Structure 1
Amino acid sequence: MKQETGRLDRLFDYLIHVVLLLLVAVTLYPLLYVLFASVSEANQLVSHKGFLWKPLGFSLEAYLNVFRNPGILTGYKNTLFILFFGVILNLTMTSLAAYVLSRKNVMWNKLFIFVIVFTMFFNGGLIPIYLIVKNVGLVNTLWATIIPFAISTFNLIIMRTAFMAVPDSLEESAKMDGANHFTILLRIIIPLSMPVIAVMILYYAVEKWNGWFYAAVFIQDRELFPLQLVLREILIANATDSMSGDASAGERFQVGETIKYATIMIATVPILCVYPFVQKYFVKGVMVGALKG
């Protein structure tokens, strides 16, 4: 009976490994396809049908053409501005709110939590948000994509749960030594919650880097377009002519296809490079938010 159970367990393990490998392949192949297409010869790529397992020839012309578009560099600058100041504001506001909500002696704590969680499921919609942003004078500024979204309710709940896991005795000892709330937060709570802080940095950074919708709603000046909005314009509006040089119409179409893939790679790779630096904290940080209620 034990031998049969052992065989079933091994069979189940093999099945799990096969399923995971298939999931990895399904997830990884689109990225490899874009990479191979971006360094392929334009004429060979256009005539190719079916799966793409390797580059068709080799050419970096698409990447050189991408950087001919001044909107790419401007988009990078705007996105880095949003990323830097947005993540700082997000972490500051989320940490302060999570600290207050994680304290057991805060008056009306449960009511505050209920109201905050309520906003995850119900909100006023896009038009009220736009009117508020317009009335405070943030329309057509990069701050319109930063200030109205200073706190994510989901991330706040995760950080609050992590702060609640810090032993109360540490806070009581700090208060006996004369520490105020800011000292407790900065020198005790946050250092002991670095796995969750790293996860929050990753979550907020990816959100800021990939965000384009609210930028499209609030920003009209092309000089303020973030990178993802420039990428959207290239992919949807097929705005690649300015990057194709003096080529003929047919050559522009061919080169335009590789330019689209190169633009996707340029817009994707930088944020992928962030993950290895926080990967060791990622699982631990997520589990802290999942296990404590």
Structure 2
Amino acid sequence: MKETWGDRTTLAVIYGLLSLILVAVLYPLVFVVSASFSDPAAVMRGEVWLLPKDLSLIGYERVFANKEILSGYINTIIYTVVGTAVNLAMTIAAAYPLSRKDFMGRNVITAFIVFTMFFSGGLIPTYLLVKKLGMINSMWALIIPGAVSVMNIIIMRTFFQASVPTEVQESAEMDGCTNIQTLVRIVLPLSMPIIAVMILFYAVGHWNAYFNALIYLSDRDKYPLQLFLREILIKSEMDQMTSSMDLSVQKHLMEAEAIKYAIVIVSNLPVLLLYPFLQKYFVKGMLIGAIKG
């Protein structure tokens, strides 16, 4: 069909709006990267807009001068990998039965699960429970309390219902497959888009988490990366506040500015590198998983 003038105008408006959104989303990231490699004095003077100016690595030098950064990276990777594996296993274990029409009481169970989205025990009861279970100052204190996300269970359950035909599952059962075999051999291979989405959601959550570690961990050799980066940033700010009003104040101000941008890059780089590998599954999984509740 031939495009009318109205169609072309609408398309131009859509492309214009999308371009503005792209700039609004992409520019802050480009600016942070450029600022992290620029001279802090140039950044504070507002001379950095798009490309780095007066190349400087002072921010990264200050961040990596902390010898605990490497141990924090290792700990965070362990917490992220183990936590994401537990999250994924628990989410699949809950979502698959609830997606089966032959599972009696699934609506009642779903209602109880959804109820927990609106009411929780609170921080103090949760801390007492974690302490009673003997998980204080251990990796499991960061993983077990948040092992399942109700929203992700609902999304994955909806994906199973919408994307895995009941006939396929019935055919597998007629061929002698048990429920576990049907799940492993039929359902999961067809559910890679939503699995990729869940991996991204859970991994990002574990990677950026610091509050639970701040509450439950006391040994510094178990601290995740985010706690060390937080300490570096707070120390820089405190040094800035307690410095005498002389030339050292400017030095502290510039170092704090450089550290701020370097920390953003150091803490988010692994997630930014992970996303391109999962991007092709991300949109499809979210759209299909959110069609109906």
**8 Å contact kept, 1:240–1:256:** no
Match of 2:156 among 156, 159, 175: 159
Structure 1 residues 184 and 256, CA gap change in structure 2 (3 angstroms): same
Work out the CA distance in 2 between the residues paired with 1:25 and 1:221: 43
Alignment of 1:1-293 (within 5 A): 6-46=4-44, 48-49=45-46, 52-165=49-162, 166-238=164-236, 250-293=250-293
Q: Which moved more, 1:81-90 or 1:141-150?
A: 141-150
Output one character per residue of 1:235-260: Cα deviation in whole Å (capped at 9) or x when no partner. 3442697xxxxxx6653442332122
Indicate the SS of the match to 1:265: helix
Displacement of 1:49 in angstroms is 2.8
Work out the CA distance in 2 between the residues paired with 1:36 and 1:189: 45
Output one character per residue of 1:202-244: Cα deviation in whole Å (capped at 9) or x when no partner. 1111111111222222223332221222222333442697xxx
Work out the CA distance in 1 between the residues paired with 2:276 and 2:138: 32
Indicate the SS of the match to 2:218: coil
Structure 1 residues 184 and 240, CA gap change in structure 2 (3 angstroms): farther
Work out the CA distance in 1 between the residues paired with 2:169 and 2:185: 10
Q: What residue identity is the alignment partner of 2:192?
A: M
Displacement of 1:65 in angstroms is 3.0
Indicate the SS of the match to 1:273: helix
Work out the CA distance in 2 between the residues paired with 1:13 and 1:135: 60
**8 Å contact kept, 1:75–1:230:** yes
Output one character per residue of 1:156-197: Cα deviation in whole Å (capped at 9) or x when no partner. 111111122312222222222222121111111100111111
Output one character per residue of 1:45-77: Cα deviation in whole Å (capped at 9) or x when no partner. 34x137623212112343233211123212211
Indicate the SS of the match to 1:193: helix
**8 Å contact kept, 1:211–1:228:** yes
The count of residues paired between Structure 1 and Structure 2 equals: 285
Output one character per residue of 1:129-176: Cα deviation in whole Å (capped at 9) or x when no partner. 111111111122221111111111111111111122312222222222
Displacement of 1:292 in angstroms is 4.2
Superposition RMSD in Å: 2.4
Indicate the SS of the match to 1:161: helix
Q: Which moved more, 1:251-260 or 1:84-93?
A: 251-260
Q: What residue identity is the alignment partner of 1:156?
A: I
Indicate the SS of the match to 1:124: coil
Work out the CA distance in 2 between the residues paired with 1:219 and 1:14: 54
**8 Å contact kept, 1:78–1:142:** no
Q: What residue identity is the alignment partner of 1:114?
A: A
Output one character per residue of 1:247-289: Cα deviation in whole Å (capped at 9) or x when no partner. x665344233212211211111110111111111111111111
**8 Å contact kept, 1:212–1:226:** yes
Work out the CA distance in 1 between the residues paired with 2:260 and 2:89: 37
Work out the CA distance in 1 between the residues paired with 2:166 and 2:81: 33
Match of 2:242 in 1: none
Indicate the SS of the match to 2:290: helix
Output one character per residue of 1:18-43: Cα deviation in whole Å (capped at 9) or x when no partner. 22222222222221221111111233
Unaligned runs of 5+ in 1: 242-247
Work out the CA distance in 2 between the residues paired with 1:50 and 1:66: 23
**Identical pairs, percent:** 48
Indicate the SS of the match to 1:184: helix
Unaligned runs of 5+ in 2: 240-247
Work out the CA distance in 1 between the residues paired with 2:48 and 2:65: 30
Work out the CA distance in 2 between the residues paired with 1:224 and 1:104: 44
Work out the CA distance in 1 between the residues paired with 2:173 and 2:50: 62
